[in-house]
Amino acid sequence: MIEKPPMTVVGIECRTSNSADAAPLDIPRLWSQFYQENRIEQIPHKSSDEIIALYCDYEGDYTKPYTFVLGCPVSQVESIPQGMVVKTIPHASYSPFRAVGEFPQSLIETWGQIWQSDLKRTYTYDYEVYGRDFFLKEPKEVELFIAIEN
């Protein structure tokens, strides 16, 4: 378990679920939109070049709908570009994971392990961090932070 400070993320969002006809289609579509519309360059006051994939607004556990946000951490929010949202992840306790290997298979397998684990998840704010090296190096590596009870 690790403690993470608050983080504000600006990005684009979609509502989805982990059913076979939802997230496997919605999440890649949002990634495609993020790059096709060059959203990363439209986010003001980025505090890093990392891309954050945020899972929030859960209606229950991992089998229920949630919001998926794709964006970047920011140092301040003055104005939000049209079509984007702001989410503030509060200070919390997290169980860290790493997905390493062929992408997206390694990430899918890691999420499967998380879903089948006995973690005391809060289902508040879980997120993946895609650093600059993700796009430059092999094997691909993604950090995951799963919110858990203290």
> DSSP class of residue 121?
B
Q: Does the pLDDT at position 60 exceed 90?
A: yes
Domain count, the chain: 1
pLDDT for the residue 132: 87
Q: Where do we find the tokens 């994971």?
A: 97
Taking only the tens place, the pLDDT of each residue in 5-32 is 999 999 999 999 999 999 999 999 999 9
Which residue range is the domain that position 66 belongs to?
A: 2-148
99-150 residue pLDDT tens: 999 999 999 999 999 999 999 999 999 999 999 899 899 999 999 999 999 8
Cα distance between residue 67 and residue 149, in whole Å: 20
**CATH code of 15's domain:** 3.20.80.10
Task: Give all strands of the β-sheet with 2-4 in edge-to-edge order.
Answer: 2-4, 92-101, 140-148, 125-130, 51-56, 66-74, 7-16, 85-89
pLDDT tens digits along 90-102: 999 999 999 999 9
